[in-house]
């Protein structure tokens, strides 16, 4: 990438990151936390050992849709188990405002105190 495009792609990604972070900040001015599934789908079966590398990469990348934006923006997030689907655990991801991890901890603690996730 660096040889073909120099720093243009990197600079563009930094600008996109700033824009994404600003959008999340505006959204969270009206809300304390954002709640969503940790991953967008049930865990897929592992590809066979002789599968092409592209299949392994596809399986890895398709699970990042809900977590990647917060990795990029640096917004605090946490995940806690919240039940099962077809015998597989489901994660609940909470995301909050920058430097407001306390709100996430309180929400997660409240959920854990009032619900037995193993029975959901």
Give the burial string for 42-80 (b: 16+ CB within 10 Å, else e): eeeeeeeeeeeeeeeeeeeeeeeebbebbeebebbbbbb
Sheet containing strand 77-85, strands side by side: 33-37, 88-96, 77-85
Contact 38, 93 (CB under 8 A): yes
pLDDT at 82: 92
Is the CA virtual torsion 2, 19, 37, 78 positive or negative? positive
pLDDT at 3: 80
Query: For each of the chain's 120 residues, which pLDDT tens digit applies?
Result: 678 878 888 889 899 999 999 999 999 999 999 999 999 888 778 899 999 999 999 988 888 889 999 999 999 999 999 999 888 889 999 999 999 999 999 999 999 999 888 887
Q: Is this structure's pTM higher than 0.85?
A: no
pLDDT at 19: 95
């Amino acid at each position: 990438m660096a040889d073909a495009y120099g720093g243009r792609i990197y600079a563009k990604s930094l600008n996109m990151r700033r824009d994404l972070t600003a959008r999340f900040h505006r959204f969270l001015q009206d809300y304390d936390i954002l709640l969503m599934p940790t991953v967008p789908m049930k865990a897929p079966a592992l590809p066979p050992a002789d599968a092409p590398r592209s299949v392994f990469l596809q399986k890895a990348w398709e699970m990042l849709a809900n977590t990647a934006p917060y990795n990029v923006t640096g917004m605090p997030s946490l995940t806690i188990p919240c039940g099962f689907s077809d015998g597989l655990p489901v994660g609940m991801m909470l995301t909050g405002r920058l430097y407001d991890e306390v709100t996430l901890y309180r929400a997660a603690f409240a959920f854990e105190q009032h619900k037995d996730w193993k029975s959901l």
